[in-house]
Amino acid sequence: MSLSYLVKRIGFILFTLLAVSVIVFGITQVLPGDAAQMMLGENATDDALAAVRDRLGLDRPIWLQYWDWLSATLGGDFGTSLRTGLPVSEMMLPALQRSLLLALLAILLMLVLAVPMGIIAALRRGKPTDVVIGLGSYVGVSMPEFVTATVVLLLLANPVLGLFPATGYVPLTEDFWEGLHHLALPVLTVSVILIAHVSRMVRSEMIDVLHTDYVRAARMKGLTRRRVILRHALPNALLPAITIVALDVGYLLGGIIVVEEIFAFPGIGRQLIVAIQNRDLPAIQAGALIMAATYAIVNFLADLAYAALDRRIQYA
């Protein structure tokens, strides 16, 4: 990975984040009614509105407002929520932590299940196991999270069985097992699409790799099948997975919004939906910006990881 590549990538991510901030700010400016109207309600007098607009600087040119917003945001100040009157960062950052926990557990579950499923399907190509895994993954990628969530709720959280709590959140630090118990259904729901997608990808990469000369050579050298698959084929099949998993973080973020809403999980997705429902401008801006920036940065890191790892077999 050369220095110029790194500089170029960093330049690009900065440009991307800037463009994302312009888009997020721009879209929230289109909202009917301004922040002053939202704070004071429908019946506010013109004088009161003018006073608040003056205080918030809403009369100033839009690019000046954008600049103020951007510089405050970069300093970690996301403004004050119109709904609660609290600083937005105090609402968003703890929510972000909880969402990250949810996302990391989902990715973990995905890796634990999707990689073995993909390998098994590739090794049993065309056999019943492969067909079953293939059909399962078609169903998996075709179910929106809210459908998966309702199925999961119906099966695992119904009043008769009552295996899992339907909603809520308990911090792991407070009660570890109860916390996991509450996290189980959201994590399961959000990871279904990822598992389906990644297992398909691992399968097709694995099939390609199994037909390469070096795998054939390793086999003819008399290495055990297990060693050929795990040491020679798998690392090369997994390399493209880095990029795909990074792109899947986009789905994951969307999924988190839906799943947090359904399971009443107090994460950033739910904060965003609540902000949208209440037209809470600063909170919408902060939530959208944090999520989009997370996605952009994950893809940036994935590109770097790919560039660093893609050295085509080195025996050191």
Partner 1 sequence: MPETIRRLLHTPQGAIGSVIVVIVLLAAIFGPWLAPDNPETFNYGNRFEGPSGQFLFGTDQFGRDLFSRILHGAQSTVLMAIFATVIGTGIGAVIGTGSAYLGGRFDELVMRLVDAVMAIPNLLFALLIVTALGASGVNALVAIGIAFAPGMARIARSVALTVREQDYVKAAIARGESAGYIILREMLPNVIAPIVVEMTIRVAFAIMLLATLSFLGLGAQPPSSEWGLMVSEARSYMFRNAWMMIWPGVCIAVVAIGFNLLGDGLRDALNPKT
Of 163 and 180, the one with the shorter C-beta distance to partner 1 is 163
Q: What minimum distance in Å lies between the beta carbon of 148 and partner 1?
A: 9
Q: What minimum distance in Å lies between the beta carbon of 162 and partner 1?
A: 11
Of 234 and 283, the one with the shorter C-beta distance to partner 1 is 283
Q: Which residues of the shown chain bind partner 1 in the complex (CB under 8 A)?
A: 12, 15-16, 19-20, 23-24, 27-28, 30-32, 138-139, 141-147, 150-151, 153-154, 158-159, 250-251, 253-254, 257-258, 261, 272-273, 276-277, 279, 284, 288, 291-292, 295-296, 299
* Of 94, 8, 14, 77, residue with least CA distance to 297: 14
Q: What minimum distance in Å lies between the beta carbon of 156 and partner 1?
A: 13
Of 66 and 146, the one with the shorter C-beta distance to partner 1 is 146
Q: What minimum distance in Å lies between the beta carbon of 289 and partner 1?
A: 10
Measuring CA to CA, how many Å separate 51 from each of 58, 66, 81, 255? 10, 20, 18, 41
**What are φ and ψ of residue 167, in 5° steps?**
-140, 170
CB neighbourhood size of 48 (10 A):
14
* Of 19, 18, 28, residue with least CA distance to 285: 28
Of 115 and 192, the one with the shorter C-beta distance to partner 1 is 192
- As a whole number of angstroms, the distance between CA 265 and CA 190 comes to 12
- As a whole number of angstroms, the distance between CA 80 and CA 85 comes to 6
Which residues, at least 6 apart from 109, have a Cβ–Cβ distance to it below 8 Å?
187, 188, 191, 195
Q: What minimum distance in Å lies between the beta carbon of 54 and partner 1?
A: 25
Of 50 and 141, the one with the shorter C-beta distance to partner 1 is 141
Q: Among the residues of 124-233, which ranges form H helices?
A: 128-142, 145-156, 176-210, 213-220, 225-227
Strands (E), 113-223: none
- As a whole number of angstroms, the distance between CA 202 and CA 236 comes to 10
- As a whole number of angstroms, the distance between CA 312 and CA 235 comes to 11
- As a whole number of angstroms, the distance between CA 91 and CA 267 comes to 10
Of 93 and 293, the one with the shorter C-beta distance to partner 1 is 293
Q: What minimum distance in Å lies between the beta carbon of 147 and partner 1?
A: 4
Q: What minimum distance in Å lies between the beta carbon of 48 and partner 1?
A: 26
Of 53 and 251, the one with the shorter C-beta distance to partner 1 is 251
Q: What minimum distance in Å lies between the beta carbon of 190 and partner 1?
A: 12
Q: Tell me if 259 sits within 8 A of 68, measured CB to CB.
A: no
Of 124 and 279, the one with the shorter C-beta distance to partner 1 is 279
Q: Is the dihedral of CA 299, 302, 307, 308 positive or negative?
A: positive
